[in-house]
Amino acid sequence: MYKLVLCLRYLRTRYIALASIISVMLGVATMIVVNSVMSGFSHEMHTRLHGIMSDIVMESHGMNGFRHWEEHIKNVKEVIGDDIESITATVHVPAMLSINVRGQWLPRHVTLVGIDPDTYAKVSDFSKYLKHPENRSAVSFDLKENGYEAPTESPLFSAGWNHRREKAAYEKELRAQMKRFQVFEETGRYPNEIIISNQPTPVAPPQQPNPLRTVNHEEEVPIIPPHANDADAPPLPGAVPAELLINQEESPYDVANKGADRFSAARGTLKTKIYDPMHDQATGIILGIAIGSVRQRNAEGIVKDYFMVLPGDDVKLSFPTSSSPPQIASDTFTVVDFYESKMSEYDGAFAFIPLDRLQQLRGMIDPTEGTAVSTIQIKLKEGADLQAVVNKMRATFPPEVFPYRIQSWKDLQGPLLAAVEMEKTILNILLFLIIGVAGFGILATFYMIVVEKTKDIGILKSLGASGSGVMSIFLWYGFSLGIVGSGVGMIMGLLFVVNINRIAGVIEWITGKEVFDPTIYYFREIPTIISPVSIAWIVAGAMFIAVLASVLPALRAARLHPVEALRYE
C-alpha cells in the first residue's frame, strides 16, 4: 500500500521527474507522427504503384513477344488456376508521342500499352483512375460526348466531342479565312464564299488560339470562334487519313483491317474515306494525365493543371515495329480519356491503346501463327500468396528454356518500396534512440531522487519495509512516469496526426512555404494511417525504457543500508 501512496506522492511533488519524461513524451509523439505519415505515404504508394499494375507480370525479352501466348495462358491456368482472379495479355512498347501545342509538336516519351479493355480492367485498378465515369465501369476507346470528371472551371470538364467539334470548326474556319486572304491577295477582292477542294492538303496543325488552357478561366480566351456553330459545313479534308501515315511495306499483315477507326472500317472504302474530325475519331488513346498536362503553381501560388491536350484532341505516336530490324510505325490517335493514379511515375509514363490495333500497327499479327503479345498479366485472388505463385510460375517457365521474365509487382517496384521501408526503419531507429536518450535522463533524475530520499528509504526499512518493497516504489514510479509520458505523447501524436494537414496549413501560412508540395508528390493532402499496433509498440517501448531506466536507482534504493540512512539528520 505504502508503495502506491508514496509513488503517487513523489509523482505529485517531484516535478523535475515530470520534466525528465517530457523527452519521452516528445519522442513518442514524434514516433507516432512519423510512423503515421510514413505508413500513409507508403500505403498510398503501394496502392498507387499497384494501382495500374497487375499482381504478376510475365514478359518476353524479345521485341516481338510471345507467339504462343494463348497456350502459355492455358499453362498458367493449369498451374495456378486456383489463385487466378483474372488474366490478360498486353503489348508494351516504348513510343514517341507528339502533341501539337500552339502549332509546335511537343515530343513525349511514353510506354505504349496495348490492352484489351475488358480483361485489362479486371486485372488492375487502371479503370478506377480514369476521368470519365463511364470508362470506370467499362473501359472504352470511344470518345465521350462530355462529362469528364473535373472541376467545372477546368477545361477537362468541357472536353470530349464538344471540344473536338468546336476545334474542328474553328480550324476549318481558320483555313477558310486563310483561303479568303489568299484569294484577296491574288484577286484584290475578298470572296464571300470559298469552296475548299477535296484534295488532301498537308496535315493541318491543329491551331489553337490558346493551347495552354488553364483551370483558371479569369482571363479566358474564347476558344470558340464566331462561326463555330456551322454544323452543316461540308466534310473538311484538313487532316490526312491516319492510314496514309503508315508505311505499308512494314506491316504486310494488316491490310485487311487497316482503318483509321471502326467507322471508316464499316464504310469499307478505305482510300476514299474522308477523315472528318467533326464526326470521326481516330483510334482512341488513354493518356496519363501528366503526359498531357503540367501541374504548376501560378503567380498567386495556387496549384493548377495546365492542359496541353484534352480528350477530343488528336495526337501522334511513333513506335518500333516488331520486325527485325525494327522500323518506325506511326499513327494518329484521338485522346479519349486521361487516367490519374496520382503516381507521377505512372501518370507521366503510360499511354494505352487497343491491343488489336497495336498488334496490327506493329505487325504482330501473323496469318499463320496468330498474334503475339509482349506480356501476360495476372491478378490473383484475395489472400493468394504472391511469392509462392511467382515461384510456381518460374518453375513452369524456367529461364533456361524460356526467355521470359516473371515478376510480381513488388519485384517491379522493389527499389522504391524498399527505399520507403528503409527510410521508415531508419527513422524509427533514430527516434527510438531519442527515447533511449530520454531514458538516461530518467535514470539520472531517478538516481538523484533516490539519493535525496535516502533518509526516507531508511525510515521505511526501519518500519519494516522490505528491500523489494522499496525497490518497487521506484519501479512503479518509473512505470507511472512512463505511462504519463507515453500517454501524453500518444495523445499529442494522435492529435498532431489527425490535424496534420491543418498544421501544415498553419506552417505554410507562417513561413509562406509549402510543407507538402503537391506539384512534387501528386498528393493534395499529407496521407496518414494510424496503426494501433505500431502505436501500441511505441508506447510499450517507451514504457519499457522508462521502467528500465528506473531499475538501477530502484536497485540502489533496495540495497541501501538502513542504518547509514538513519544515522544522521
Partner 1 sequence: MSKTSSTQQDFALQAPGDSGSKINQHGLRGPHIPVEKFESSADKSDKTNPNVGHLYTKNLVKSYHKGKIEIPVLRGVDFTADEGRITSIIGQSGSGKSTLLHLMATLDAPDSGEIYFENNRIDNISSRARDKMRNRDFGMIFQFYHLLPEFSTLENVLTPLMISNGMWKYWSQRKKFRQRAEDLLKLVGLGHRLNHRSKELSGGEMQRVAIARALIADPKILLADEPTGNLDRKNGDEILDILRKLNRENNLTIVMVTHDNSIAEQADSVVRLCEGKVQTA
Binding positions for partner 1, rule: CB under 8 A: 1-2, 4-6, 9-10, 13, 455-456, 458-467, 469, 561-563, 566-569
CB of 31 to partner 1, least distance (A): 33
Task: State residue 391 phi and psi, 5-degree precision.
Answer: -60, -40
SS (H, E, C) 54-91: CCEEEEECCCCCECCHHHHHHHHHHHHHHHEEEEEEEE
User: Smallest gap, in angstroms, from Cβ of residue 557 to partner 1?
Assistant: 14
Nearer to partner 1, 436 or 467 (CB): 467
325 preceded by cis ω (within 30°)?
yes
Nearer to partner 1, 1 or 221 (CB): 1
Beta strands (DSSP E) in 321-473 are: 328-339, 350-354, 365-366, 370-371, 375-380, 404-408
Rounded to an integer, what distance in angstroms lies between the CA atom of residue 55 and that of residue 486? Answer: 40
CB of 259 closer than 8 Å to CB of 270: yes
Beta strands per DSSP E along 197-279: 213-214
Phi, psi of 407, deg, nearest 5: -135, 145
Instruction: Name the minimum Å distance from CB 569 to partner 1.
Output: 4
Amino acid, single-letter form, for residue 256 = A
Cα 5 to Cα 11, 88, 474, 476, 479, distances in angstroms: 10, 70, 12, 11, 14
Q: Choose between 54 and 472: whose C-beta lies nearer to partner 1.
A: 472
Minimum distance of partner 1 from residue 128's CB (angstroms):
58
Task: Please identify, using beta-carbon distances, which residue of 312 and 562 lies nearer to partner 1.
Answer: 562
What whole-number distance in Å separates Cα of residue 509 and Cα of residue 482? 35
Residue 109 or 561 having the CB closest to partner 1: 561
Residue 15 CB contacts under 8 Å (≥ 6 apart), including other chains = none
Helix or strand holding residue 105 (H, E): strand 104-115
Work out how close the CB of 458 gets to partner 1 at its nearest, in angstroms, rounded to a whole number: 8
- Using alpha carbons, select from 287, 352, 354 the residue that is nearest to residue 116: 354
Contact 128, 51 (CB under 8 A): yes
Residue partners of 233: CB distance under 8 A and separation at least 6: 169, 172, 278
Of 60 and 445, nearer to partner 1 (C-beta) is 445
* Terminal Cα-to-Cα distance of the chain (whole angstroms): 27
Q: How many whole angstroms separate alpha carbon 399 and alpha carbon 59?
A: 12
- Minimum distance from CB of 462 to partner 1 (Å)? 5
Query: Is the Cβ of residue 401 or residue 463 nearer to partner 1 in the bound state?
Result: 463
Q: How far is the CB of 499 from partner 1 (least distance, A)?
A: 39
Query: Closer to partner 1 at the Cβ: 202 or 464?
Result: 464
Q: Whole-angstrom Cα distance, residue 167 to residue 75?
A: 50
Identity of residue 390: V
Residue with Cβ nearer partner 1 (361 or 481): 481
Measured from the CB of residue 7, what is the shortest distance to partner 1 in angstroms?
Answer: 10
- Please identify, using beta-carbon distances, which residue of 242 and 470 lies nearer to partner 1: 470
Question: Strand 314-320 and strand 56-60: pairing?
Answer: unpaired
Least gap, CB of 544 to partner 1 (angstroms): 24
The DSSP 8-state label assigned to residue 275 in this structure reads: -
294/563 with CB nearer partner 1: 563
Question: Helix, strand, coil shares of the chain as percentages rounded to 5?
Answer: 50, 15, 35
Min dist. Cβ of residue 474 to partner 1 (A): 14
Q: How far is the CB of 39 from partner 1 (least distance, A)?
A: 40
SS3 224: coil
